Amino acid sequence: MLKDREAILKILKDNLREAQEMMKKFADLNRTEREFTNGNWVYLRLKPYHQLSVAARRNQKLATCYYGPFMIEEKVGKVAYCLRLPPESKIHPIFHVSSLKKRLGSSSTLQPKLPPVNMDGSLFPEPEKTLNRRLKR
């Protein structure tokens, strides 16, 4: 009876190992290894965090996905990089590799810059006065 139990346990462990290997194989099909070096230029993706202090838009769906390009200063850990951001941007400069996209080519395409932010975290451009007002019902 004990040998039957050990045999069943061995079969279960083998099946579990095979299932894990199969899941890893299919998960790795969509995975890409991204590696950057110091001095590389990358675009920064802020969308997963919905940082309204950086990109305040009425429709977040149409907000810019990538900002930059920014230079990589150093690698921090296995999958994090420190970027050289403008001094007026109040964002932590260390980002996961999944938030970065390598800049290809040497053309200087204009990308949106990080807008200036007040001390309280809101954007500088604020309306001076309300010209007209309408009440929605």
Evaluate whether residue 16 is within a structural domain.
no
Evaluate whether residue 29 is within a structural domain.
no
Evaluate whether residue 119 is within a structural domain.
yes
pLDDT beyond 90 at 45: no
CATH number at residue 56: 2.30.30
For the stretch 46-68, pLDDT in tens is 765 555 555 556 666 666 778 88
Count of the separate structural domains present in the chain: 1
pLDDT beyond 80 at 84: yes
- Residue 17: the pLDDT is 98
Write the secondary structure of 55-69 as one string of H (helix), E (strand) and C (coil).
CCCCCHHHCCCEEEE
Domain housing 81: 34-123
d(CA 85, CA 40): 13
Lowest mean pLDDT among 11-15, 22-26, 89-93, 105-109: 105-109
